Every structure is written in structure tokens, then in C-alpha cells.
Structure 1
């Protein structure tokens, strides 16, 4: 190729590329415009009504399915416990410590005959529901096997603050033998271990009833709609005036169930009040620090962030 024809070929290539670029940009703009025009406002009235109706029916069906799933599980007809207004459920609400004290009395006189709380010691009650002297008296009521002594023999002694709550049975096999094969669960963390937490335990304790028509429960079991399978080996543990509270509170069934559920919530989460107290302190500190940090960020550091550094080489 001659040298005189090279500039002409370069100019021709440049012209072709520019025309192709303009056509590509125009096609993208046309495509974008066509997409923008396909909006909800451009649809016909019939299509608008159809789409709106479909959206309402879909949302309503999803809401109805969610409500039915939360109320009754269709697979095994297990009744879900309702949500009760517990006094400690608030963001800044603490546990009712008078109820914790009554709940321990319920556990000691009613539940401790079958259920253990092996992760709870007497010292944990100090400053929560009882004074130190009261807890020492409660601990001394039990006999603890200790030892060996100097002669190598085991001995019994009164309980101390460091001792854990006594177990009703020496081993799981003895517990099963005494309860027709059913093993009573440990109640230390039962509230956290069950779906529904306090609501489930309260509903279970107060939900015993006669089986509906067509449902038969074998001998030795009791019908409870809140228990998985509806047949539970535990007999109804509480009823009206099952015990007499030390503080004179009326021991109705609902009151007894409420107190023992509050006690079990504290047993499963003893840091409940402290955690919320620390959260309140954090919120109060954040209310002071966040405006200060915003002021420094917006007004003090803005000079450093917006400054321009220019390098001027020496001439």
C-alpha cells in the first residue's frame, strides 16, 4: 500500500467506528424508552384490576396460612400455646422477684418430688428471692452424702450454700421405674428447651382436660392438647389451693402456674435483669455519644476531608 493511501484508510475506519457507536447508543436509548413506557400506569383498566386483585388475594392467603400455622399444626394437631402478657417481657422490665420466691416454694413442695434442677445451687437464691440466712436454713433441711472422712467412710451432713438442689432419684433408671417408664426432665433450662418458653409451660400445667370424642388415651396417660402427641404421663400437678403460700397470696391454679413459670425463667436465665440493666446503660451512653460523634464527623473532620492537596513542582 502506498504511503499516500494510509491517511485515507485511517479516516475511513474512524468514520465507520463513529457511525457504529452512534447507532448503538441510539438503540440503547430506544430500548430504555420502550421499557419505561411499559409501566403500571400504561396498562388498561382491566389489567390493573386483575393485577390488584391477584396481589390482594396472594397477601391475604399468605397471612391466613401464617395465622393457621401459628395456631394449629395440621401434621399432628398439636395446639400452640397462646402468648401471655408476662410482666418481664418488656424491653426494660425485670423479673417479679416475689413471684420467683413463690415459684421456688411451688417447685419445692410440688415439682421436686419428680423433677430435678441439678444445675441450680442454693447460693443462687441469695439476693434474688431469699436472704442469706433464709437460704442457709433451706440448705440445712437436706442431708448430703459427703466424704470420705479420715477413716475412709462416707458420711452425711447438713446441706450448705454451695450444694446443688437434691435429685429426687439416684439415676435415670430409677426415675423411669418410678414413673411407668417415663423420664421426668430436668427443669433447670426447661423454659429455653421448649418452643414457646413460659407460654408453653403455663399452658401445659393448666391445659389438662378430658379427651375429645373419638380420641382414646391408654391407661396411665393423661390428655393434654399442648403436649406433643396429646398423651402425657405426668398427672395434673397443680390445682386450686394445692399449697399455702408463705406470703398469704391466694394459691389458685393460674397463680401457681404463673409463679413457677417465673421461677423457671429465672433459673434458665439468671442474668435476665442484669442484661437489661446493661442494655439501658448502653442506650443512655449512646444517646450522648452519637450526637457528639456526628458533630465531630460533620463539622470538625469535614475540613480535613474536603481539603485539596496540590503539588506544584518547582519551576
Structure 2
């Protein structure tokens, strides 16, 4: 399905940072593919897993008044893959066709037929499956300060959901964050001034295969600096939506041009010294109730640490 258009975002509430020259990175527009001409039916190829990518590619700038400007572009397609029934087909039992006739003896007029014995059909026994290994990542939170492995604070995958990549999620280096924000020249300066410590991300598909959810956490030097990252964040060309129960959060929704295409939603907020972003991609127009629920659960998980 076609990739959504690029969107741009900006932080309009300047934190009190020293003046710096503006550096803006623009992301290239992704044209929608032209309709394919009709062709003769061919056998459908076997589905292969596409390599996963970071949830968004954005450009960042540090403006003269200390503003952070972000240009966001998301181009992901929801893939619904059914799981095949793993049970083998039952093999038919062989039929008995042999028959033997006893020879006639003097004074005997009856003949006997030999009945073959039934061939036993092996009954498959249940093979015990190894339980999924327990996660070894640990983290603690106290007074809004998060310590330990940041992956621990990623919103748990719901029952039946399937992770893309490691089940525990992926830690993000500075290079990963730079790539996510479009590799602007001043990204290291921006992260340093915000006291950036580490990041984590995970994408999963819901159990019914209708949605893909990406959660990204960025760990900053304090709750105030994490909040500053969220303040004034807007996304052009997308509809602004409220996030229920979190007045400091921002939500955005992109409706597809056609209900057969992919729509998306983004929520951004912070809890303590961690800023979190939840991206949701579904077929058709997204229901913001789904984003509200995900944002609420992610906030509670960060606040309590499970």
C-alpha cells in the first residue's frame, strides 16, 4: 500500500537555551506508486519478513532562540499475516485387501476366508514446548527517576502480540537516535543540552494482525528536560487530537486518502525523566481510542515500573 506523505513538526515553546545557528534537515517526499497495469495471474510468492526500521525518520534543528524543530516522515505499511495451522494432516489408514481361501476337503462343502488383522495407526503424542525465556532486563523508578535497562520500561506486548525483532526491544545508541532524527549536524549538541542518557524502542503486531505499534523511549537528564522535548511539538498536515487523561500530551492523526491504505497516529508525552512516543499504524482511518489506551498504559508503566 502507498507510503503516507511526509509531515513536519516543530517545537514552538523555546526552552531557555543559548542561541545557536539553525540547521534544518528536510526529508525527501515519497511519491505514491502508480496503479499497476493488469497482468496475468501468477502464483502468489511465499511471504518473507521485511527488515524492520526505526519508527520514523525526522530532521532536527536548533534555532537561534533555542527552538527545536522536527520534520517527521513515517512510511510504514501494516502487514496482516495469518498463522498456519501447525497440525499435520491425518494420513489414511491402509486398507486390508488380501483374502485367503481354505482348500476344500473330502465331505466339506464350505470355504473359509482369512480376515487380515488391522494395521495399527500411530497416534501422535504432544511434544512439550519450551516455555519462552523470561526477560532478564531490569529497571527501577523512584521519584520520576528511571534507572537500569530502559528497555524494561517499554510498554509490555499484549497477549498474542508478536514482536518485530528482539522480544525485549532494542537499545538505541546516539547514532540510532541521530538516524531517527535525520542526522542533523547539531543532533549531538541537542542531545547533550537535554542531558540525553539512552533510548529504547520496540515494534509489535497486535494479535489480530490489524495494527502495528511502535513505542520509543528517550531518557533525558531530568523530568524538566524531558518535558521540554514535548512542549510545543506540532505536526503539520496532520489532525491534532486530544490524549485523554494527559493534558501535557500531544496527539496527531493522519487519515489515508483511501480506506484501503494505511492510516497512522502518534502520541508524545513524558513521565519523569523519560519522554515517550507511541506510533500506531492501521488500515483505514485510525480510532483515537486505541492511541489513548496505549498512551495511558505506557504512562502508568513508566510511573510504577510494573
State the TM-score bracket (shorter-chain normalisation). under 0.3
More strand, by proportion? 2
User: Which of these two proteins has the greater Rg computed from alpha carbons?
Assistant: 1
